[in-house]
Amino acid sequence: MKIFLKALTLVLFSLHCFSQTPPKWLRYPSISPDGKTIVFTYRGDLWKVPAAGGSAVPLTLHEAHDFMPVWSHDSKTIAFASDRFGNFDIFSIPVNGGEAKRLTFHSANEYPYDFTPDDQRIIFGGVRMDIASNRQYPTGSQPELYSVATKGGRVLQLLSTPAEDAKYNRDGSKLVYHDKKGGENPWRKHHTSSITRDIWVYDTKTQKHTKLTAFAGEDRNPIFAEGDKSLYYLSEANGSFNVHKLLLNAPAQPQAVTSFKKHPVRFLSMATDGTLCFSYDGEIYTLNPSLNRGGAGGGVSPQKVNINIAADARANNERVLAVSGGVRDMAISPNGKEVAYIFRGEVFVSSVEGGLTKRITNTPEQERNVSFSPDGKALLYSSERGNSWKIYETRISRKEEPYFYASTILKETAVIANDNENYQPSYSPDGREIAFIENRMTLKVFTPATKQTRTVLTDKELFSMGDNDQYFQWSPDAKWFLFDYSMPGIAPGEIGLIAADGKGKVTNLTESGFQDFRAKWVLGGKAMLWFSNRDGLKSVAQSGGAQADVYAMFFTQESFDKFKLSKEEAALAKEIAEKNAKSDTTKKKEAKKDTTVVIEMEGLELRKAKLTIHSSTLSDALINKDGDMLYYLTRFEKGYNLWSTNLRTKETKQLTTLNANGGGNMVWDKEQKNIFLNADGKIAKIDAASGKQESISIGGEINLDVAAERAFMFEHVWRRTKKTFYTATYHGVNWDSYKPDYESYLPHIGNNFEFAELMSELLGELNVSHSGASYNAPSANGDATASLGIFYDVNYTGNGVRVEEVIKGGPLDKAGLNIRPGTLIEGIDGETLTPDRDLAQYLNRKAGKNVLLTLLEGTARREVVVKPVTTPEENQLLYKRWVLRNQEEVEKLSNGTLGYVHIPGMNDGAYRTTYEEVMGKHVNKKGIVVDTRFNGGGDLVADLAMFLSGKQFMNYTTDKRSNGYEPNFRWTKPSISLANEANYSDGHCYAFMVQEVKLGKLVGQPVPGTCTFAGWEALQDNSLRWGVPPLGVKAMNGTYLENAQTEPDIKVWNDYEVIIKGKDQQLERAVQELMKEVK
């Protein structure tokens, strides 16, 4: 009995401790207007708790992610966002519980901000469509403001201006909001640039926007207070996000209300009595500044709301995942009977025949780069355990078990385990040594017998943008390495050769200046195969991509001569060799095959050949042992397929149809009769002679500990950032100090939305572009709203929708339809369009399908059948419309003197369009307006610098007329450039370049300093993606361009009231300035 009582006490104590453990990562708190209750998000659900603290109770319990709660003014209803149908829609729920009601149905994400003063409607932000007159760039980073009735129904647009966290004043005559000028990690901190948010107030009667804040950093989340005479909001003006206050009649003198350090204050809300509510360091606080009689903030401290949460998890932490695809790092055993691979960071081995699978590792950390030992008795791989990459070997313990896939007991041994980052292990062909990468940019060789390690290559020959990104290969005799050679200061890669003993110098085998990569030893070490874009079909832009070919270099003259034999000559040589072998009557015991690699350096550069007859998007290639057949995995139009070329006859054909979405890798079996191919996460065995393929069964399962895996992924992100961030200064941040802070939140993370947000907050501490994390939630059954390709009359409120404009090229812009402005679309597929339903409900899942429209034109009705387009297709139509309007305006304002081109991104497609427009349509113009506003980046700045800076030095002419000039592929006349806050990455590089090389004037708004290289990576849970820059860009004066804002020569702001009515002030000013130069 005493034992039972002790056990019961222990259980009760454990439950009590659980219930009393302070929850962290309490996000999106919102206090009720009556000040009695706080609703917040925790582990993907909404919870409510008394404002004084206590035990929280769940308001929603759903597998979806519910967040961003907003109170009605009567404190009875909560609006929130939830992804229950694949994207975030607006829902409402009674505060005392009940069934949540879906209010919006569009497939774009939509987020609630406030209720109207009468509680009849909810205002929210989303990207549906601007009004027809708005000249704002049509992009997903520029949302609109809408409202929907609390009982549901047609969505009404309030503002076409990007406005977030909007709140009404008491009588609804004004809206206060923070702006959104472009795309950036919303959790970035300490950021001062033109793209940071500012606070605005909008007068709903005069339709005038007034900017209230002038701080160069972040101001956001505003709330009317004190009888609408002041605002509370969040700002980084005093170093970290804190609550600030400003008076509407004196906004230039804001005051800090709180003074938290290190971590940001987030999610400000306020009760009617002035009590503020917000989160800080994963917990919830309240503060009533009106109780302070001595000034803003002084004498009154925020009070932490003590919250207890005692609830079961809504999903199992331990989950069983089927291993049915998504595998990588394929390796084939020497006998060809086993295949090893990585799935979700674990090592597995399957039988080639029979479908048996064995899980080799079982860790929350990830394993990579698995391979078999030359004798097939061991597996070698790297594992990211113990806060660094280490190298392990696993062997079968029982001699009676010859195969890994059927083994019972395995023994794992740490081969290289220290504080360095050690990965990409590779056995030497004789199995005596192991090559590996240390600390990303050092190639070393370890000898297990002596425990000695030698260095072969360093950062003078290797460069890394992330983990596991080096390429090297042992020679068959284990005396040499081929590797991807990165020469300091030179962007294109070459193929390097280095002695494995580490004593020799690197030989640059290719010396092409093109991109040469992934060399393989072939023909028993007598030659190498590699890939190069030297002869490939290239982008028009030199910075763009290029197709590649397969090449071979022969290390001896004898092997080269043999390769050049014709089909007939090769057949004769083979026949003679076979006869000689039969006539040998000595019957000597067959000598051990000589694997010594001979490299005749003299004339080596002449002994090379292109093997493919057509350039393509190559993924991998193999040559058979006779050297007369090439097999390559490539893509021409659709997916990747396996092709073959007879190197004697050049006969080329598609050997096996795969239509793989992504590239893959291939390896031979021992006899080189079969090719094993890993593509699209699957493994196939292909007969090289016939092309017949067999799928390798990769069944099995993995027992996933979600929390442990998440903890590892956090560690990986933090540590890799520490090791690879482009500058050792970390922008002045003590990176080490943030790890324990954010690590403490992990037990309270409920799903990958929250985990991605946590990592974005962590990476946001670095104040750097190209950073953050995202979660791509699977949504096979999610809504997909189709588009009719029209602008709707936003003022029309009756049954049906009224057409304001038919978009050129859209579904309704067809010959014979003759649908004009003013036409009323009464019904879709026989259903009357009524104001009590969201229009998106009639169009979901109808893209590309025949849809019947009932039209009313005056008093006449008719029916037409059309095919709506997808949202991305509509976006392209809107973009083309925007560009055409700008071109027409420039033509009109300049009386035909100037041309106009917009460059949306830095890629070959954009360059081709630019070239076509400038050198085709506008070739006879006297100047060109180059608009790069909202340019999302890429790699094109050098091409544009060359193209737009042409200087004529020669004229092709007769006495009567010219027939061209040099350089005839460059613009040689004046230009002016437009840029704004949303230029990103290479878009900023362009703005910087315009001023650096004095390429005309720059007009618009300051461009944030984001000219930096991205380093994105998918985690082992590949629905998660994250990144920080591993490589920066410096100006010629030696300063980094990251966070170095480029100020325009002529600063022009597009007033919200003006641009929404069809006037682009920045474009007009650019035309005015360039006209001064060309006259």
- In angstroms, rounded to a whole number, what is the distance separating the alpha carbons of residues 59 and 55? 13
If asked whether residues 860 and 889 sit together in one domain, one would say no
Edge-to-edge order in the sheet of strand 37-42: 27-31, 37-42, 45-50, 57-58
If asked whether residues 211 and 280 sit together in one domain, one would say yes
Q: Which of 494, 981, 1042, 1073 is catalytic?
A: 1042
DSSP state of 731: G
Domain count, the chain: 4
Is 228 inside any structural domain?
yes
- In angstroms, rounded to a whole number, what is the distance separating the alpha carbons of residues 370 and 340? 7
Hey, which residues does 476 pair with through a beta bridge? none
The bridge status of strand 199-203 relative to strand 208-211 is antiparallel
The SS3 of residue 576 is helix
pLDDT at 570: 84
Q: Where are the alpha helices (DSSP H) in 765-921?
A: 840-843, 871-893, 908-916
- In angstroms, rounded to a whole number, what is the distance separating the alpha carbons of residues 771 and 1030? 10
- In angstroms, rounded to a whole number, what is the distance separating the alpha carbons of residues 523 and 510? 19
Tokens at 34, concatenated: 């009556």
- Burial (CB < 10 A; 0-12, 13-18, 19+), residue 940, is buried
- In angstroms, rounded to a whole number, what is the distance separating the alpha carbons of residues 466 and 770? 14
Q: Which of 1056, 270, 442, 1019 is nearest to 711 (CA)?
A: 1019
Is 1055 inside any structural domain?
yes
If asked whether residues 108 and 183 sit together in one domain, one would say yes
Cβ 714 vs Cβ 1018: under 8 Å: no
Contacts of 9 (CB under 8 A, 6+ apart): none
The SS3 of residue 781 is coil
Q: Which of 175, 174, 154, 156 is nearest to 164 (CA)?
A: 175
Amino acid, single-letter form, for residue 1020:
Q
All residue ranges of the chain with pLDDT < 50 are 1-20, 293-298
- In angstroms, rounded to a whole number, what is the distance separating the alpha carbons of residues 456 and 434? 12
- Burial (CB < 10 A; 0-12, 13-18, 19+), residue 271, is buried
For helices 706-724 and 752-764, give the axis angle rounded to 10 degrees: 20
Is 861 inside any structural domain?
yes
pLDDT at 591: 56
Give DSSP secondary structure letters for 204-256: TTTTEEEE----SS-EEEEEEETTTTEEEEEE-TTSS-EEEEEETTEEEEEEE
Cβ 38 vs Cβ 29: under 8 Å: yes
- Give whole-number Cα distances, 416 to 374, 385, 875, in Å: 19, 12, 52
Tokens at 1053, concatenated: 């702001």
Known active-site residue 1042: yes
Q: Which of 985, 988, 1017, 1073 is catalytic?
A: 985
Find the angle CA(308)-CA(314)-CA(315) to the nearest 5 degrees: 135
- In angstroms, rounded to a whole number, what is the distance separating the alpha carbons of residues 84 and 456? 54
- In angstroms, rounded to a whole number, what is the distance separating the alpha carbons of residues 65 and 87? 10
Around 1046, how many Cα atoms within 13 Å sit in the side-chain half-sphere?
A: 34
- What is the C-alpha end-to-end distance of the chain, expressed in Å? 103
Contacts of 595 (CB under 8 A, 6+ apart): 429, 476, 477, 524, 525
Known active-site residue 985: yes
Q: With the C-alpha atoms ordered 510, 511, 517, 518, is the resulting torsion angle positive or negative?
A: positive
Cβ 32 vs Cβ 52: under 8 Å: no
Taking only the tens place, the pLDDT of each residue in 5-46 is 333 333 333 333 334 468 999 999 999 999 999 999 999 999
Is 578 inside any structural domain?
no
Q: With the C-alpha atoms ordered 262, 263, 268, 272, is the resulting torsion angle positive or negative?
A: negative
Q: Which of 484, 363, 472 is nearest to 425 (CA)?
A: 472
Taking only the tens place, the pLDDT of each residue in 355-399 is 899 999 999 999 999 999 999 999 999 999 999 999 999 999 999
If asked whether residues 290 and 179 sit together in one domain, one would say yes
Tokens at 945, concatenated: 């610098």
If asked whether residues 846 and 878 sit together in one domain, one would say no
If asked whether residues 72 and 91 sit together in one domain, one would say yes
Amino acid, single-letter form, for residue 452:
Q
- Give whole-number Cα distances, 742 to 44, 698, 791, 1018, 1052, in Å: 18, 37, 46, 20, 41
If asked whether residues 105 and 145 sit together in one domain, one would say yes
Contacts of 577 (CB under 8 A, 6+ apart): none
Q: Which of 832, 823, 826 is nearest to 857 (CA)?
A: 823
Cβ 1015 vs Cβ 466: under 8 Å: yes
Cβ 704 vs Cβ 344: under 8 Å: yes
Strands (E), 682-800: 682-687, 693-695, 701-705, 772-775, 790-792
Q: What's the CATH code of the domain at 281? A: 2.120.10.60
- In angstroms, rounded to a whole number, what is the distance separating the alpha carbons of residues 92 and 99? 9
Is 674 inside any structural domain?
no
* Predicted TM-score (pTM) of this structure: 0.93
Q: Which of 685, 681, 632, 684 is nearest to 661 (CA)?
A: 681
Range of the domain at 150: 22-308
- In angstroms, rounded to a whole number, what is the distance separating the alpha carbons of residues 763 and 818? 53
If asked whether residues 735 and 865 sit together in one domain, one would say no
- Of 869, 889, 923, which residue is a domain's last? 869
Of all helices (H) and strands (E), which one includes residue 991?
helix 986-996
Find the angle CA(207)-CA(212)-CA(217) to the nearest 5 degrees: 130
- Of 869, 896, 918, which residue is a domain's last? 869
Tokens at 698, concatenated: 């990769």
3-state secondary structure 547-593: CEEEEEEECCHHHHHHHCCCHHHHHHHHHHHHHHHHHCCCCCCCCCC
Q: What's the CATH code of the domain at 1063? A: 3.90.226.10
Helix, strand, coil abundance in the chain, percent, nearest 5 = 15, 35, 45
Taking only the tens place, the pLDDT of each residue in 52-86 is 999 999 999 999 999 999 999 999 999 999 999 99
- In angstroms, rounded to a whole number, what is the distance separating the alpha carbons of residues 970 and 914? 11
Is 512 inside any structural domain?
no
Tokens at 544, concatenated: 């763009």
If asked whether residues 900 and 817 sit together in one domain, one would say no
If asked whether residues 858 and 916 sit together in one domain, one would say no
The SS3 of residue 969 is coil
Is 222 inside any structural domain?
yes
Is 982 inside any structural domain?
yes
Residue 341's φ and ψ, nearest 5 degrees, are -165, 175
Cβ 697 vs Cβ 352: under 8 Å: no
Q: Which of 770, 902, 922, 988 is catalytic?
A: 770
Cβ 1008 vs Cβ 193: under 8 Å: yes
- In angstroms, rounded to a whole number, what is the distance separating the alpha carbons of residues 648 and 836? 73
Strands (E), 533-636: 549-554, 608-610, 617-623, 629-635
Tokens at 83, concatenated: 């992804």
pLDDT at 811: 97
- In angstroms, rounded to a whole number, what is the distance separating the alpha carbons of residues 495 and 507? 8
If asked whether residues 842 and 799 sit together in one domain, one would say yes
- Of 851, 869, 887, which residue is a domain's last? 869
Residue 426's φ and ψ, nearest 5 degrees, are -150, 120
Hey, which residues does 110 pair with through a beta bridge? 126
Cβ 789 vs Cβ 811: under 8 Å: yes
Tokens at 772, concatenated: 């953050």
If asked whether residues 865 and 960 sit together in one domain, one would say no
Known active-site residue 433: no
Q: Which residues of 442-459 are buried (b: 16+ CB within 10 A; e: fewer)?
A: bbbbbeeeeeeeeebbee
Amino acid, single-letter form, for residue 748:
H
Q: What's the CATH code of the domain at 795? A: 2.30.42.10
